[in-house]
Amino acid sequence: MYKNVTEKKSKSQNDSRIAIPPYMKAVSGSIGGVMEACCLQPIDVIKTRLQLDRSGTYKGIIHCGKTVSRTEGVRALWKGLTPFATHLTLKYALRMGSNALFQSAFKDSETGKISNRGRVLSGFGAGVLEALAIVTPFEVVKIRLQQQKGLSPDLLKYKGPVHCARMIIREEGILGLWAGAAPTVMRNGTNQAAMFTAKNAFDVVLWKKHEGDGKVLLPWQSMISGFLAGTAGPVCTGPFDVVKTRLMAQSREGGNLKYKGMIHAIRTIYAEEGLRALWKGLLPRLMRIPPGQAIMWAVADQIIGLYEKRYIHNAPL
């Protein structure tokens, strides 16, 4: 009888570890995404300008930021904020929610646990989904807006995110919004596979935190785990990010495209600008992505943790 009670209790604890619904993951991620976008948009603008700079106009991150502020005004550092914030909100909602669904599919039906291989595949699947459904079209619009110099509406081809999307569709067709989809899929899939696996590992190793155990990490603890988890991706996926930016920035207006696709772009950039050019903008990416993950996870972990305490561990068994 004692054994049965113990088994029941163990099973209840196991069940509580998988009881966080995907929609709560989606909500927590979307709120974290809004905070990240507002804090880090200037770094994203600088990264885009550096990646598009073929003539050496900008000497580095600080010089780029000062040049943009001096010649175009401080507000220019927040160019593309609306599509960036919207795309981050939707992206994190889809990323966190779909990753939770994939993890549920990969969990062992008896133990309720998921292997590292399952975490990697879940993260990769979530990255591919977000890349195709949300990231690519939003980043095409964002990059087209960010590459425009100046603030006077009369001198700008694209007047805003909606106008930009309409112009792209009219001039290049609906598929113009999916320019650079292949490197975006590779970048996001690899990034999320590494990030979700690393975040879980750092939570366990550093703070003894297991998902669904009712323990709520302090914001600074979530920030450390998120920052460390967000560091590896940019280094590994630098070439995909540069190629993605170049493909998204080029307009099909006039018919001639410099880059014909992902592989052609990699070869062309390497031949014309050297190997290091494939990692252009790496430093601002490292300044944006790890802090961005730190901000997002600090918010998301608090929301998920409060849900665990209120609706799982305080619920009657």
- Give per-residue pLDDT as tens, 283-310: 888 888 899 999 999 999 999 988 887 7
User: Which pLDDT does position 116 carry in this prediction?
Assistant: 87
Q: Percentage of the chain surpassing pLDDT 70?
A: 91
Q: Is the dihedral of CA 257, 260, 266, 271 positive or negative?
A: negative
Query: How far lies 113's CA from each of 16, 118, 151, 153, 233, in Å?
Result: 12, 10, 53, 55, 25
Burial class (CB in 10 A: 0-12, 13-18, 19+), 279: middle
Burial 199-225 (b: 16+ CB within 10 A, else e): bbebbeeeeebebbeeebbeeebbbbb
Query: How much is the pTM?
Result: 0.76
- Looking at residue 314, what is its pLDDT? 65
pLDDT tens figures, 177-236? 999 999 999 999 999 998 999 999 999 999 999 877 778 899 999 999 999 999 878 888
Model pLDDT for residues 125-156, shown as the tens digit of each residue: 999 999 999 989 988 998 898 888 776 777 78
Q: Rounded to whole angstroms, how far apart are CA atoms 83 and 74?
A: 19
